[in-house]
Amino acid sequence: MNRPYLALLAAALATVSVMAALAAQTASPLQTPRAEARSPTAQVSVQEINDGFVEKIAKQIVGHEQEPAEKVFANIQILRTVPAGRLLLIMNRGYSHALGVTCTHCHVEQDFSSDEKRPKRAAREMALMYRSINEQLAKMQNLEPNPEGHSINCTTCHRGAVNPMAPEK
């Protein structure tokens, strides 16, 4: 594996968010045991919603978690060789957490493989951009030494907001 790929993967895992990646069918996240235990007036958090999607998809891929994501899910274009189980973690604890959004911000709920939504297409472009930046960072000679290397990820700019230019909360 090349260094930028490892840096990208490490950064995505560090940001923590598991996207309910690319299953053709998903149950409503409000049907998860955690959500059912809530009172009808209690709000479900973004993370609980995403965890519900991931829980459902994880059950669908049992026995295939270590296979490359592109073999388990449809329409994987960026993290193809990442194990399917890890892709769920990257999406839920990385991408979605970095933007503070539910899985359905980017994905069509009944068809996660669909490219219908603009945010999903934009996320792919952004991933290519930060990979490129990380490749440039790895080449820089005058940065302060860092044993883990230098890298950025979605959280570097977005910090939990869809609009990276939005004022911090």
- pLDDT value of residue 40: 61
Domain count, the chain: 1
Residue numbers of the domain that contains 85:
3-158
In a domain, 169, yes or no: no
Where on the phi/psi map is residue 44: left (φ > 0), alpha (ψ -120 to 50), or beta? beta
pLDDT tens digit string along 108-140? 999 999 999 999 999 999 999 999 999 999 999
Residue 20 counted as domain residue:
yes
Among 22-36, 78-92, 154-168, name the one with the lowest average pLDDT: 22-36
Identify whether 70 is part of a domain: yes
Q: What is the CATH number of the domain that holds 32?
A: 1.10.468
- Whole-number Cα distances in Å, 74 to 108, 113, 117, 118, 148: 13, 6, 16, 18, 33
Mean pLDDT over each residue of the chain, to the nearest integer: 81
CA distance 106 to 68: 22
Tens of pLDDT, residue by residue over 64-105, are 999 999 999 999 999 999 999 999 999 999 999 999 999 999
pLDDT in the model for residue 39:
60
Between CA 127 and CA 79 the distance in angstroms is 10
pLDDT top residue among 10 and 20: 10
Q: Tell me whether residue 165 is in a domain.
A: no
Q: Is residue 167 assigned to a domain? A: no
Is 168 a domain residue?
Answer: no
Residue 34 lies in a domain: yes
Q: In angstroms, rounded to a whole number, what is the distance separating the alpha carbons of residues 40 and 33?
A: 14
